Chain A
């Protein structure tokens, strides 16, 4: 399997999701708007749940909804992320493996990403993520050198900016949407805010 690139937008939202619910396990789906190829470019993510990750109905519902939304917006589901409530344990749970398998049925470059809670602090120099890929019918650790986070320093500073302006509370996951359906689980507003912060770094005006 080839390289995986993780965009600032996807990383920021995953990080915010895990930070918003520090006492819970959280999960979500990784999306790509790039065509399928040897390399996987994760361009966005959809935060899903922060409770009862291993119960079927809401997970199934969320998967079909995100799938439908993706076909409307020319994106594909290319992976799954999870942050465990128990900070010292960042290994994939049976539930994570099952969902990743499900995604693998449709996408043979599926990425399974576990967030490493112990590395989630502001001055950490290393991305707090552990990636797995499907190899020989099991999920194996991916070679760190095949994972790319462009402009890592800028990404860190953008995440810090979001925290200091309290914007992490804008993040809506699917669970929160079900509690209040006026909330937007596609996070258009937050996406726009993050993209605004990213553009100067890319030199795009």
Chain B
């Protein structure tokens, strides 16, 4: 079986740089990380210098993701040998126990870290992940809320909490979490768009208008966000179809919806290819808007 360096004609430096890029941008392409990382470690460990330790950590976590316990174990051994008293390595050992579904043992390990260092946020979040893995959503939500009272600036935690609330259909609380995220990340179009989706799901005229505004905001921040474009079309169409709005509001929303339709059609013409159902889409949106308008927001 050919090696990565043979298959892709890359040298070890390029492989190392690729791993760094994936690490820095927080990609979870675990199969690739395992392929590239395993070869790098096996063939070129001596050339990596101090980078080797962070690569061991990265490869170990990816290996757990791919059920490669053999690889995870050997990486862990190297790290234990080099950093025998490290909390960070202990936490990795805990993650391996989680991957083996030995949650009680993992929790014991994490509790011992937290006894020494109660502010170890990564370890606290691992304990919450265990609750999620066990399907204990309400406990996970409770713990995450307590965590956020202490660590108010943790974006990752706010986002995780919004996801948990969405899964529990608690849209009001999900919206609150997304509001926190939008405040601290005003230029992030994804948060705007997700917030708009939550508002749309909550339903009712006020929420639909808010949804439309935030879909529009998301588009201002990124005019290629297709979800925001469709969301704008759908919320404006529902508002225009509502018997409770004034003639002016109706007229404005019909205009917004028409604008959205034209933008959608243009996007498909410019970027669509022959393989995609190009013929279906722009035409069908106008035809199907009749059914769309007859239905209130679904869920």
Contacts and interface: CB of A to CB of B under 8 A. Distances in A.
Contacts of A188: 275
Nearest to B28: A23
A69 interface: yes
A68 B298 contact: no
Interface string A92-131: 0011001100100000000000000000000000000000
Interface in A153-191: 177-179, 181-186, 188-189
Interface stretch (B35-43, B151-159, B194-202): B194-202
A143 interface: no
B291 A67 contact: yes
B261 to A, nearest CB: 13
Contacts of B275: 182, 184, 188-189
A60 B273 contact: no
B54 interface: no
A63 interface: yes
B155 to A, nearest CB: 18
A86 interface: yes
B284 A65 contact: yes
A69 B288 CA distance: 10
Interface residues of A, number: 36
Contacts of A89: 135
Nearest to B211: A57
A91 to B, nearest CB: 10
Contacts of B135: 86, 88-89
Interface string A51-62: 010111111110
A54 B167 contact: yes
Contacts of B230: 57-58, 61, 178
Contact of A183 (B267, B276, B291): B276
Nearest to A68: B284
A34 interface: no
B83 interface: no
B298 A98 contact: yes
A98 B271 CA distance: 34
Contact of A56 (B28, B268, B276, B299): B299
Contacts of B277: 69, 184-186
The interface centre, meaning the residue of B28, B231, B276 with most chain A CB atoms within 10 A of its CB, is B276
B197 A57 contact: yes
Given A63-B298, A68-B287, A57 B201 contact: yes
A73 B78 CA distance: 58
Contact of B276 (A72, A94, A102, A184): A184
A63 B203 CA distance: 18
A186 B291 CA distance: 21
A182 B299 contact: no
A107 to B, nearest CB: 15
Contact of A55 (B201, B226, B280): B201
A95 B298 CA distance: 10
Given A68-B288, A89-B135, A181-B226, A55 B197 contact: yes
10 contacts: A56-B197, A57-B197, A57-B234, A58-B197, A68-B280, A68-B288, A89-B135, A99-B298, A182-B271, A184-B277
Closest 9 CB pairs of A and B: A56-B201, A68-B284, A184-B276, A55-B197, A56-B299, A64-B288, A56-B297, A60-B298, A178-B226
Interface of A: 23, 52, 54-61, 63-65, 67-69, 72, 86, 88-89, 94-95, 98-99, 102, 177-179, 181-186, 188-189
Interface of B: 28, 133, 135, 166-167, 169, 194, 196-198, 200-201, 203, 211, 226-227, 230-231, 234-235, 267-268, 271-273, 275-277, 280-281, 284, 287-288, 291-292, 295, 297-299
